[in-house]
A and B are shown apart, each in its own frame.
Chain A
Amino acid sequence: GAGVSQTPSNKVTEKGKYVELRCDPISGHTALYWYRQSLGQGPEFLIYFQGTGAADDSGLPNDRFFAVRPEGSVSTLKIQRTERGDSAVYLCASSVTRDRVDEQFFGPGTRLTVL
């Protein structure tokens, strides 16, 4: 079956611009996670959704970052007034449930470059 997909695969933008990154989780997966991976580092947690609601957004670095999942499936990570330090690979993952720890299935990531 289809895995987690993310679009675009690459995004180049200029400092100060607004960007949206999309994640399509595996059908039926209720939990969705966004992570950010800087070059040479392990991924870092950004935000986690259970269904439509953001259950934990403690990893969002500041109020320029926002994410939604209005119908409990597709999620969009939105970054306002992008900065060069936002350049990274943004990873999305989904899993079946949140009440126990399940295997997470990762998307291929979106590589964001802010010039």
Chain B
Amino acid sequence: KNEVEQSPQNLTAQEGEFITINCSYSVGISALHWLQQHPGGGIVSLFMLSSGKKKHGRLIATINIQEKHSSLHITASHPRDSAVYICAVGGTYAGGTSYGKLTFGQGTILTVHP
């Protein structure tokens, strides 16, 4: 079982729909990252969070540390939101040391149709 699991793997939506991508992890962490990757493009960090909720524009990220679960929400989705969304966990405790090495989920491919 992977340490970081995302669902769904593929998601298709119509413009304007509310979108949710889920991430579950199985290790203790210091922070969880949501990243965006466009086809042929680099990776951009959307959020880094260790508790509660963060909002940036139409994007909202939440995390439940006790349940080891995070969600990324996109409100009023738009075709330009089409990308791969990747959940990654960092600060995995190993031998009492925590650091920024990231363990990634497999990504969710989001396609938003006009």
Contacts and interface: CB of A to CB of B under 8 A. Distances in A.
Interface of A: 31, 33, 35, 41-45, 48, 50, 55-56, 91, 93, 95, 98-109
Interface of B: 4, 30-31, 33, 35, 41-45, 48, 50, 86, 88, 90-91, 98-107
B105 A42 contact: yes
B38 to A, nearest CB: 11
Contacts of A109: 42
Contacts of A45: 101-103
Contacts of A101: 30-31, 48, 50, 90-91, 98-100
A91 B43 CA distance: 9
A31 B33 CA distance: 17
B33 A104 contact: yes
B86 A42 contact: yes
Contacts of A98: 99-100
Nearest to A3: B42
B41 A108 contact: yes
A6 to B, nearest CB: 9
A33 B31 CA distance: 17
B45 A33 contact: no
Contacts of B101: 33, 45, 48, 56
A42 B84 CA distance: 10
